[in-house]
Amino acid sequence: MPALLVGVDIGTQGVKGVLVDAQGTVLASASLARGPRHPRPGWVEMDAEQDWWAPAAEIMRRLTAQLPDRAGDIAAVGVCGLVPCLCPIDADGRPLRPAILYSDNRALEELAWANARAGLSLTAEAVVPKLLWLQRHEPEVFARTAAVLSAHNYVVLRLTGRRSMDYDTASIMGGIFDPRGRRWEARTCQQLGIPVEVWPPLYPATVVVGEVTAEAERQTGLPAGVPVIAGSGDTFPTMVGCGAIEPGDAMLSFGTTGLLTITRRPLVESAGGPHFSSADGTAAVDWGANILSASRLIDWFLREFGGAERLAAERLGESPFVLLEQEAARIPPGSEGLIVLPHWLGRRTPTPDATIRGAVLGLTPSHTAAHIYRALMESFAYNVRQSLPAHRPNITRLVATAGGARSRLWRQICADVLDIPLEYFPQASGALGIAFLAGFAVRQVRDFSAIKHQWLREPEVVFPDAGARAVYDRLFPIYEEFDAAVAG
């Protein structure tokens, strides 16, 4: 029988997993919802055991339980996840406090100090300023920190007993990784007063760093001895998982955080990483846009204002998001003049501003909850459009992916605002992408282009509507003026 591959994606709002064969057929899938906590305004945390490892282990148990006779055919495991995170662990591998996420803005003073001290140009998602915050505000935790990991690194540790970090994650921890030498920058760490020893051993994303241990077998159902790759942050596997692997392919991710990435070189050339930086400055992937609150906005709206839809969905056996989308689809493009800024956790692009907040312009008594819901979707598209002109000449196809992309309405809104057709593969995911990379690592998959031409089927495509485009062309300058005014 053909070999099987396991892919697990540790997301901000949940954990997903797939069990696939080497031809890309998804044989089993599972997901569990999880979410971050906000103990103070601007703080974003998750528990490494309860929010990362426990659901990942449960996902793997569910996958193997669906095919109990095939567990012995599993050839490799790949894990990807949200990055960069500050998860400090002690010498025994135990988390010392809740992990601080990429979207956390508590360390702005430390950010400014680090940039001035070491001549860096970090932004608020970097881990280094958060580690400096830990040193300053929780010195007892800092003193006991033996290593700093991100989400997928922690799950790989629990699977294999080995600390590791891939090159790509290392490159975004905060100016302390040398992409040419593939090593930590000891001099920069010394400048900042950070022991270089807290950074784990470095590996290419597609290198096997260990095997499933007997203890991990007991907790996950995976056979002991199965190879586990280093894995990477979720962006690269998500690009792979939606087939955006060749020059001109671009990915628009509708995840908790929204992303626009543009592939500049064949991704096979940088499969081991770093994917988004290189020693000679010719990155395989360009960052186009980074919107901290994409599907996060939709989840927030449902949680805070979607009580009626949740009750109706339970009664009808339907998703509440489907009901919300039906209501929003009745609202005309432009939400009858309602404009939202999606900066619930600050703004990353087109210019970083960790202090700006979300805002609503144009509310009247005639606006309904459906207007607001549609305007939230439109705000994501407007924010992406701000960064698009610089990258548009390099884009030949745009692929929508991640959870929010299941919404055809949202995809249509983005196609209209951006004036570009949008492809969508329902089976695409970061979990699929990291499973593919695991197979590539152990040579069960030999042709990198197989993900695009064999693993993925015919896409659903939405095309821009001329009438809607005209409305959005008129409103977009108002969005930009509103954005600038709130940034002040």
- The answer to whether 313 touches 302, Cβ cutoff 8 Å, is no
Q: Per-residue pLDDT for 81 more than 80? A: yes
Instruction: Spell 136-172 as b/e; 16+ CB within 10 A means b.
Output: eeeeeebeebbbbbbbbbbbbbbbbebbbbbbbbbbb
Same domain, 204 and 307: no
Would residue 450 count as lying in a domain? no
What's the confidence (pLDDT) of residue 470? 98
For residue 354, what pLDDT band results from cuts at 50, 70 and 90?
A: confident
Of 233, 259, 276, which residue is a domain's last?
Answer: 233
- The answer to whether 238 touches 188, Cβ cutoff 8 Å, is no
Of 210, 233, 256, which residue is a domain's last?
Answer: 233
Of 211, 233, 255, which residue is a domain's last?
Answer: 233
Q: Per-residue pLDDT for 432 more than 90? A: yes
To 10 degrees, the CA torsion angle through 319, 320, 321, 327?
Answer: 120
Q: How far is it, in rounded angstroms, from Cα 228 to Cα 214?
A: 14
Would residue 273 count as lying in a domain? no
Same domain, 328 and 188: no
Would residue 99 count as lying in a domain? yes
Q: How far is it, in rounded angstroms, from Cα 63 to Cα 322?
A: 27
Closest CA to 401 of 1, 4, 9: 9
For 295-353, the pLDDT digits (tens) are: 999 999 999 998 888 888 788 888 888 899 999 999 999 999 999 999 998 999 999 99
In 150-204 the beta strands, taken as DSSP E runs, fall at 165-166, 177-178, 183-184, 202-203
Would residue 116 count as lying in a domain? yes
Same domain, 359 and 216: no
Q: Specify the number of domains making up the chain.
A: 2
For residue 107, what pLDDT band results from cuts at 50, 70 and 90?
A: very high
Distances (CA, A) of 121 to 112, 172, 179, 206: 9, 12, 16, 29
For residue 282, what pLDDT band results from cuts at 50, 70 and 90?
A: low
Same domain, 357 and 228: no
Same domain, 89 and 195: yes
Would residue 386 count as lying in a domain? yes
Given its phi and psi angles, is residue 248 left (phi above 0), alpha (psi -120 to 50 degrees) or beta?
Answer: left
To 10 degrees, the CA torsion angle through 238, 239, 242, 246?
Answer: -160
Same domain, 408 and 335: yes
Q: CB count, 10 Å around CB of 239?
A: 29
Exposure of 18 in the CB half-sphere (CA atoms within 13 A): 24
Same domain, 211 and 351: no
For residue 378, the enclosing domain spans 295-424+462-487
Would residue 49 count as lying in a domain? yes
CATH number at residue 229: 3.30.420.40
What pTM, to 2 d.p., does this model score?
0.91
- The answer to whether 104 touches 131, Cβ cutoff 8 Å, is no
What's the confidence (pLDDT) of residue 180? 87
Q: Per-residue pLDDT for 280 more than 60? A: no
Same domain, 301 and 212: no
Same domain, 118 and 22: yes
List, in sequence order, every residue forming a beta bridge with 353; answer none if it has no partner.
Answer: 347
Which of the residue ranges 49-58, 157-166, 351-360 would you say has the lowest mean pLDDT?
Answer: 351-360
For 133-154, the pLDDT digits (tens) are: 999 999 999 999 999 999 999 9
Would residue 240 count as lying in a domain? no
